[in-house]
Amino acid sequence: MNNETLLKNLRNIPNFPIPGIQFKDVTTLFKSNECLKIMLNELYEIYKDKGITKVVGIESRGFVLGAALAVKLGAGFVMCRKQGKLPADTLQETYMKEYGKDTIEIHKDAIEEKDVVLLHDDLLATGGSMKAAYNLVKQFNPSQVYINFIIELNGEGLNGREVFDKDCEISTLLRI
């Protein structure tokens, strides 16, 4: 889709959080009412007829648009958080990211088999965090799982789509 307004408002921060990483900062998209409307409306158009019953946002930038989209779709919102942040019993998955190792969790009662789940996060690079979230959600045996990102990075060593099952529907708003 590569909306020009979104691209124009996206901030790049070199060498963050470690040298060599070109961090795509979506907070500049979130602070703009115009950008928020564009993203929310584009996501709604993609998913309005998919029967989504739960939107799972990945900590923490996935919470911003994920929760708003859940409301617009008439779905519930589920948080997928870093280890130790959720108060009730959880399932967890450890994964490698571009600059370290991390663990995410989801509440054991967050999703049911009848649910149609949309996993949402801000960025697809290597796919590590979303693959971990996908693995967690699949443990609930939902009827369908979709994946969405605001940004997909394409480049050397960044083949994030390849870590997912071939039949998994993945959409992005911006490809860079």
Q: Catalytic residues, which ones?
A: 61, 98
122, 125, 150: which is closest to 46 by C-alpha?
A: 150
Q: What are phi and psi of 61, to 5 degrees?
A: -70, -20
71, 25, 29, 27: which is closest to 47 by C-alpha?
A: 71
97, 98, 84: which is closest to 19 by C-alpha?
A: 98
Residue with tokens 């124009």: 8
DSSP E strand stretches across the chain: 11-14, 22-25, 54-58, 76-82, 90-97, 100-107, 116-124, 144-152, 169-175
